[in-house]
A and B are shown apart, each in its own frame.
Chain A
Amino acid sequence: MGVMATANGGRATGTFTVKRGLADMLRGGVIMDVVDAEQAKIAEDAGAVSVMALERVPADIRRDGGVARMSDPALIDGIQQAVTIPVMAKARIGHFAEAQVLQALGVDYIDESEVLTPADEAHHIDKWAFTVPFVCGATNLGEALRRISEGAAMIRSKGEAGTGNIVEAVRHLRAILGDIRKITQADSAELYAWAKELRAPIGLVQEVAETGKLSVPLFCAGGIATPADASLVMQLGAEAVFVGSGIFKSQDPARRARAIVEATTHFEDAEHVAKVSRGLGDAMRGEELSELSERLAERGW
Chain B
Amino acid sequence: MEEPAATVGVLALQGDVLEHEAAFADVGVVTRRVRRPADLDGIDGLVLPGGESTTLSMLLESSGLFEPIAQAIARGLPVLGTCAGLILLAGRVEDGRGDQRTFSALDCAVRRNGYGPQRFSFEGVAEPVGDVLDAVGPLPAVFIRAPLVTEVWGGAEVLATESSQGSGGRSAPVVLRQGHVLGASFHPELTGDRRLHRLFAQMAGRAERAPAGSHARPATGSLGRRPSGEPAPARR
| Interaction A to B | yes
Encode contact with A along B113-124: 1 for CB under 8 Å, 0 otherwise. 100111111111
In the complex, chain A residues 240-292 whose Cβ is within 8 Å of any chain B Cβ: 261-262, 265-266, 269
Q: Which residue of B lies closest to A108 (CB)?
A: B118
Q: B180 an interface residue at 8 Å Cβ cutoff?
A: no
Flag if B52 contacts A21 (CB, 8 Å): no
Q: What is the CB-to-nearest-CB distance from B94 to chain A, in angstroms, rounded to a whole number?
A: 11
A109 touches B123 (CB 8 A): no
B61 (CB) vs chain A CBs: closest residue: A47
Cα(A261)–Cα(B14), bound, Å: 10
**A interface majority secondary structure:** loop
- Is chain B's interface secondary structure helix, strand, loop, or mixed overall? loop
Q: Which residue of B lies closest to A29 (CB)?
A: B14
B142 adjacent to A21 (CB under 8 Å) = yes
Whether B122 pairs with A18 at a CB distance below 8 angstroms is yes
Complex CA–CA separation, A29 to B14 (angstroms): 6
Q: Is residue B13 contacting chain A, with contact meaning CB distance below 8 A? A: yes
| Contact between chains at A27 and B15 (CB < 8 Å) | yes
In the assembled complex, B224 has its CB within 8 A of some CB on chain A: no
> Contact: A132 with B118, CB < 8 Å?
yes
A261 touches B58 (CB 8 A): yes
Query: Which residues of the partner chain B approach A84 to less than 8 Å between Cβ atoms?
Result: 54, 95-97, 112-113
**27 A-B contact pairs sorted by A residue (CB < 8 Å):** A10-B124, A11-B164, A15-B122, A21-B144, A21-B187, A25-B51, A25-B52, A25-B144, A27-B14, A27-B16, A29-B14, A44-B54, A44-B97, A49-B55, A84-B112, A85-B54, A86-B117, A86-B118, A106-B117, A107-B117, A108-B117, A109-B118, A132-B118, A133-B118, A261-B55, A261-B58, A265-B59
Q: Note all chain A residues with C-beta closer than 8 A to B17.
A: 27-28
Distance of A213 Cα from B124 Cα, bound (Å): 28
Contact A25 B55 (CB under 8 A): no
Using CB atoms and an 8 Å cutoff, list the residues of chain B in contact with chain A.
12-19, 35, 50-52, 54-55, 58-59, 62-63, 83-84, 95-97, 112-113, 116-125, 142-145, 164-166, 187, 190
Name the interface residues of A10-45: CB closer than 8 Å to any CB of B.
10-15, 17-18, 21-22, 24-29, 44
The answer on a CB contact under 8 Å between B121 and A24 is no
In the assembled complex, A166 has its CB within 8 A of some CB on chain B: no
- Shortest CB–CB separation between residue B87 and chain A, in angstroms? 11
Tell me how many residues of A have a C-beta within 8 Å of chain B: 40
The residues of B that contact A26 with a CB separation of less than 8 Å are 51-52
Which A residues, 21 to 78, have Cβ-Cβ distances below 8 Å to chain B? 21-22, 24-29, 44, 46-50
